[in-house]
Structure 1
Amino acid sequence: MSEPVIVVYTSGSASPLELAADADGFDLLFAVPVDTAPDALVDVLGAVGEVVDVTDEAAGAVALAARGPGGIVAFSDQDLPLAARLARRLGLRYHAQDTVDAATDKHLQRQRLRDAGLRVPRFRLLTGPREAARALAEVGAPAVLKPVRGAASRQTYRLDGPDDALRHASHVFASGATDPFVIEEMLVGSPSVAGPGLGDYVSVEVLLWRGTVVCQVLNSRLPLLEPFREQGFLMPGLLPADVEAEAHRVSAAACHALGIEDGWADVELKLTADGPAVIEVNARLGGYVATLLHRSYGLEAVRLAFEVAVGREPSAPLGEPLAAAYCYQILPPVGALRLTSWGGIAGLTERPDVLSVVLTAEPGDRVDWRLGSLGTLGVVEGVTERPEDVLTAVRAIERALAEQVVFSPA
């Protein structure tokens, strides 16, 4: 018989298609605040499982309890607090409240990591633009301004001096920001550690069971686009064995410092000359990771999350990778622009190292670089025999984008 599992879902690092693909043996109960969710999303989730309206959390919890759920999961930072509240109402095992708080508040998270003896950037909380110059002086330039709550590099800016600090802080608070921001040290990465053609940071996906690390998988990143926009991932990563081992050690310690005991965590690390430093910890599966894990190692990451949620000890033997998998995000240039033409970019699928080109923007659309990865215009995915071959595919993708995609002033 299938076992009911609650999936708190408004968005996230696993798509409805990925949830459906790994749902064999589970009845998915989608806990969704229907009053605020897009109708199209509710319809898609309803085709995959049963949608339970939790706009009224108390009434939603009663409806969920009647279905006898064995566990609860969430796949986005914004859904973690609701998942924690529902878990408490239903008596289900889930992240403790202080873990959710630390996972969704960058200032609190850095305090917890620092107190555990882990290396993190210097940081200061910012509640208004008038504090910006002083906070920058305490942290030191160059620095980074980012929201305390947020993801995908949204409203994230580099600060090289007090004028930058005042200008960007004034902009973000004038744009209606209700949460505070942090100004933090911009760590200096070491290209010699990361390797040529790669970003100077990585992420480690950590699967935990009752506080014990079951497996860890490192994925390398492509270089960031200005100012701090992520443009791609590849798995397995391309790090020397000793550096990868240290990245795994630091990532496990970061999860323990925040009290993450069950399920997936995504730990981002800056590769510095003095070793990996923790940039951020997410108490859920990383974006695109489910696809990369399946193509690289044959692991069903979403299924493993379901198994942990319902109390089954997961089995996740990695073995040797089957292939190298990558995801390349098409991001707009900096500026007030409009997409004019895609040209023949879809023809990339003729390459053997490209599986798909999915374009989510249409000619005529305004594009906004300030949204970070949320402003992605399309995604190119593929596989190669070796991780090193991914960089060949990336160079071909970037040539095609430069030659064929046209933007014009908005």
Structure 2
Amino acid sequence: MRPFFPDGILTFNETLLPFTAALAEELDLPFHSRETTSLAVDKFRQRERLRAAGVDAVRSAVITGPGDVPAALERVGAPAIVKPASGGGSRDVHLVHSVAEAVELVGRLPASPAEPFVVEEYLVGRDLAPFGDYLSVETAVSYGHASHIAITGKGPLVPPFRETAQFWPALLDPDEQTEVLRLTTDIVAALGVRTGMVHTEFKRTATGPRLIEFNGRMGGFMQDMSAHTGGPDLIATAARIALGERVSLPLLDTDRVAFQAWNLAPIAPSRLERVDGAAEVRGQSDVVSYHTYVRPGTDLGGGVMVHRLDLLSGVSAHHERMFTAMDEALSALSFTFAFAHGRSTVTGRQLVDMPENRMAPLTRGGASTPRPPQPR
């Protein structure tokens, strides 16, 4: 690449962060340093660095197999979260309540020295229904200066930890907003972030916001919400930072609410056979767009990773109207799946509660698993 004298480099892909950092270093281009990138993609090292800096005190331990579980649970306590040290989209993220449960779970997960998992303190969120109990902060960093662009509100999680919706702006009181932004600034500094777009998630607990995780790239689908609320062009902002420009942006100030919601593939393996109601949804009030991501006839492997079937985008006058608009749209959609035991047709509103989209009960004191298809 050197003969082409590139002016900048960036990525929006979590898995490409280390490769992009290596190229940036070789080409002397602005990007996260290799150390910062390593801290961003390794959830255990990230916690350790933030603990040493006095920014985050969430207990965590690394495990490479079932034999590591007892010591990890003794350090972290139960209940606890088990998840890959690197990864996204809620891949293999589970809640465990005991050593026996964790040992069985880790025995079925691909934990190894090459792909370690982490056990983390379970953060209990406040009951904020119909809102979710967590949020994220979207930040642009230029020459070490952090500009917080927006605080993203979230919908309730579907077990075990699958996201269902998000919106701009989050609804929170001024004191909580101030604390969330202060913590984000401290996290950015502690991890050595000097340049680029970052995404930081917090659980809204009874004792204040607590860090869930930090990501060294822009949050998913944020460009769309920024455009619908009069915010900056985030793709252009990321490119300007990559080109070495100094960027400073104000926190979003808007008189409307942009939202996104999506339907999740079932936990049990299936085949998507039909999607009905798309035309009706696209004509509904407050809906800006509706895109399907999975064609009918596609086999779905199941599992607990966030696998979006579609994406609904809209704009409402306020948060209450937003929930009404999402409910109207999700109720108008219907999905037909073929499972091993037969076919099921449900609306988008019913999909999260269908038996094939729930975690199975604990078995012999062990981990929750996807409910398997039943033979005919």
TM-score calculated relative to the size of structure 2: 0.85
Aligned with residue 281 of structure 1, among 214, 229, 242: 214
Shift of 1:349: 1.3
Determine if contact 2:273/2:338 at 8 Å carries over to the other structure.
Answer: yes
Shift of 1:387: 3.2
For 1:393, the equivalent position in structure 2 comes to 325
List alignment gaps of at least 5 residues for structure 2. Answer: 341-376
CA distance in 1, matches of 2:231, 2:30: 28
Whether 1:146 aligns to 2:83 is yes
For 2:35, the equivalent position in structure 1 comes to 98
Aligned with residue 405 of structure 1, among 314, 317, 335: 335
Aligned with residue 170 of structure 1, among 107, 122, 147: 107
Aligned with residue 81 of structure 1, among 18, 28, 33: 18
CA distance in 2, matches of 1:167, 1:364: 34
Amino acid at match of 2:320: E
Superposition pairs for residues 86-235 of structure 1, below 5 Å? Answer: 86-173=23-110, 178-191=114-127, 195-235=128-168
Amino acid at match of 1:355: V
Shift of 1:163: 3.0
Matched-pair identity in %: 33
CA distance in 2, matches of 1:97, 1:319: 31
For 1:26, the equivalent position in structure 2 comes to none
CA RMSD of aligned residues (A): 2.0
For 1:261, the equivalent position in structure 2 comes to 194
Amino acid at match of 1:376: R
Determine if contact 1:202/1:270 at 8 Å carries over to the other structure.
Answer: yes
Superposition pairs for residues 59-78 of structure 1, below 5 Å? Answer: 64-78=1-15
For 1:53, the equivalent position in structure 2 comes to none
- Deviation digits for residues 216-257 of structure 1 (CA, Å, limit 9, x no counterpart): 310101011111111111001111121111111111111111
Distance 1:398 1:140, change over 3 A: farther
CA distance in 2, matches of 1:286, 1:126: 27
Aligned with residue 285 of structure 2, among 327, 352, 362: 352
- Deviation digits for residues 85-122 of structure 1 (CA, Å, limit 9, x no counterpart): 11121122221221011001001001011111123431
Determine if contact 1:120/1:279 at 8 Å carries over to the other structure.
Answer: no
Distance 1:114 1:397, change over 3 A: farther
Whether 1:362 aligns to 2:277 is no
For 2:316, the equivalent position in structure 1 comes to 384
CA distance in 2, matches of 1:369, 1:111: 33
Whether 1:372 aligns to 2:305 is yes
CA distance in 2, matches of 1:170, 1:319: 45
3-state SS of paired residue (2:19):
helix
Distance 1:391 1:143, change over 3 A: same
Amino acid at match of 2:30: R
CA distance in 2, matches of 1:234, 1:144: 25
Determine if contact 1:236/1:387 at 8 Å carries over to the other structure.
Answer: no
List alignment gaps of at least 5 residues for structure 1. Answer: 1-63
Determine if contact 1:205/1:265 at 8 Å carries over to the other structure.
Answer: yes
Shift of 1:400: 3.4
Moved more, 335-344 or 157-166: 335-344
Amino acid at match of 2:253: E
Determine if contact 2:7/2:243 at 8 Å carries over to the other structure.
Answer: yes
CA distance in 1, matches of 2:250, 2:121: 38
Determine if contact 1:200/1:223 at 8 Å carries over to the other structure.
Answer: yes
Shift of 1:260: 0.7
Give the number of the structure whose residues are more often helix, by fraction: 1
Determine if contact 2:32/2:196 at 8 Å carries over to the other structure.
Answer: no
Whether 1:250 aligns to 2:183 is yes
- Deviation digits for residues 319-353 of structure 1 (CA, Å, limit 9, x no counterpart): 63153111112102332333232232442112111
- Deviation digits for residues 162-201 of structure 1 (CA, Å, limit 9, x no counterpart): 2321222111128x8941000111100112xxx3311110
TM-score calculated relative to the size of structure 1: 0.78
Determine if contact 1:226/1:334 at 8 Å carries over to the other structure.
Answer: no
Q: Paired residues, what number? A: 340
For 2:351, the equivalent position in structure 1 comes to none
CA distance in 2, matches of 1:345, 1:177: 45
Distance 1:346 1:164, change over 3 A: farther
CA distance in 1, matches of 2:133, 2:222: 19
3-state SS of paired residue (1:330):
coil
CA distance in 1, matches of 2:205, 2:193: 25
Amino acid at match of 1:379: L
Moved more, 273-282 or 342-351: 342-351
Moved more, 364-373 or 378-387: 364-373
Whether 1:297 aligns to 2:230 is yes
Aligned with residue 323 of structure 1, among 256, 265, 269: 256
